[in-house]
Structure 1
């Protein structure tokens, strides 16, 4: 019997690195295509069902889900009465999520589309407090603080008798105090550097623009201090006199008076000074 001769089967060649990458890429494309094929077709839902789902998300504290679902109400049913309410609720939900930029954008859009709506005052207020809650420490840039002040003033000026105006007025005082604090921080820095003219200009800003804030007594004291350092005695006497007249019990006046008398100078009001036009 003749033997059967079998040829040896060569080993399967190992694909090169380039081929392996091609195979992997092809597999990925096939997988993505399969996923796309499995996606459910878009189906418009009843407006009340969508809105109630958004409310459920809000009640659960899922503010991002609520905001996105309120947005979907408007997208699917833009001309329904629910859409208008959903817009302001989306802004509120973004605010609750601390997504302040999204809340401001949603409030602005509501105001553009519905300037005469009954919720307009609330939209202005929501925008204002979204800025207000982003106010940074006085050591940082205060651009957002100024935007908060402008937005809060909008609420008070447009809706002076509203419930939102009362809270806005309180926040305006706090915001102005914050802005004055920033000017004081910069002024003190200039003063420590011996740049007394620059320091005086910052302190003057506090006295002129933020007269109702808690920083004014210190600003007047430091104006006196810098004028004395420059040898401008008349202005030093005048700022000290204004400080003593308006804040006689202030610790800043006690320090100012001691500083002047230590140099054989007394507080004295001068006519025609820039301070005489303010106080």
Structure 2
């Protein structure tokens, strides 16, 4: 005796119904297909390049920097590899910079420099990238990775485009950025000094003296070196750091403190000309003389 299979019967009924519906037209099929979607081809009109560019400029004038960046981005995409694309990419970077979307400005500037390294506006693209890093320099108590990136970008501007109109501003900001980095080293050095971890403190203060001699922190770094060396009983190094401080910054209040510290220990400043500290400041003096 044969037993009918209800599952097979149901499947057959569905198949027959689908076939029947298929003969009736596609609309019926769509009605039972949950994934069916009706697509209508979208025709995007081609906007003239100059019109897109003008629209972007108009949004810039209205301080709609996000809208401007989008317009310039559309121009770059629609007219890739044209001169309009080159202009649009630079304006994208500028619009993002003005809108304080600094990471977007950095990315656009990098793309510009990759595509157009020999362009007459390459220096400006480098400047926008450097300034976008510079604007994100954090408080000295925080991690200074942004400061380091800003310093690299600013130095690249000075090195690659020495005749650029942006070099003077870049050099001024390099000094400010170096001062920021030196300040961070001093903060860490003082932290170790307060906890009597003198070797760790000395390493930080030596970094300030070796890398950032032209910053305002150099005087204190030499005084703190004198203090740390005296605490460790390394009197010759203490005398030397105080002497270098007095030689380079004779009117500094930090020198007065260093001198008093040595006198309390029955010592006088005495410079060792072959020492690391002496050589570090002689190199700066030589660079200054050659620059003049």
Give the CA deviation at 1:258: 1.1
What's the CA shift string for 1:45-98, capped at 9, x where partnerless? 111111111111001000000001001011112243222101100010011111
Give the CA deviation at 1:252: 0.2
CA distance in 2, matches of 1:69, 1:155: 28
CA distance in 1, matches of 2:213, 2:145: 21
Residue 104 (structure 1) aligned with residue 106 (structure 2): yes
Q: Which residue of 1 aligns with 2:227?
A: 225
Residue 186 (structure 1) aligned with residue 181 (structure 2): no
Higher mean C-alpha displacement, 85-94 vs 261-270: 261-270
- What is the Cα-based RMSD across aligned positions, in Å? 1.6
CA distance in 2, matches of 1:97, 1:140: 24
**Would the aligned equivalents of 2:102 and 2:132 in 1 still touch at CA under 8 Å?**
yes
Give the CA deviation at 1:100: 0.8
Q: Which residue of 1 aligns with 2:123?
A: 121
CA distance in 2, matches of 1:169, 1:257: 34
Q: 2:262 aligns with which of 257, 260, 266?
A: 260
CA distance in 2, matches of 1:180, 1:151: 18
CA distance in 1, matches of 2:163, 2:79: 34
Q: Which residue of 1 aligns with 2:205?
A: 203
Q: 2:87 aligns with which of 65, 78, 85?
A: 85
Q: Which residue of 2 aligns with 1:22?
A: none
Q: How does 1:1-279 map to 2 (within 5 A)?
A: 41-279=43-281
For 2:103, what is the secondary structure of its paired residue? helix
Q: What number of residue pairs does the alignment pair up?
A: 246
Q: Gaps spanning 5+ residues in structure 1: where?
A: 1-29
CA distance in 1, matches of 2:221, 2:100: 35
**Would the aligned equivalents of 2:79 and 2:85 in 1 still touch at CA under 8 Å?**
yes
CA distance in 2, matches of 1:128, 1:198: 32
CA distance in 1, matches of 2:103, 2:64: 18
Moved over 3 A (4+): none
What's the CA shift string for 1:3-40, capped at 9, x where partnerless? xxxxxxxxxxxxxxxxxxxxxxxxxxx9xx79x87x96
Task: Tell me the TM-score normalised to structure 2 length.
Answer: 0.81
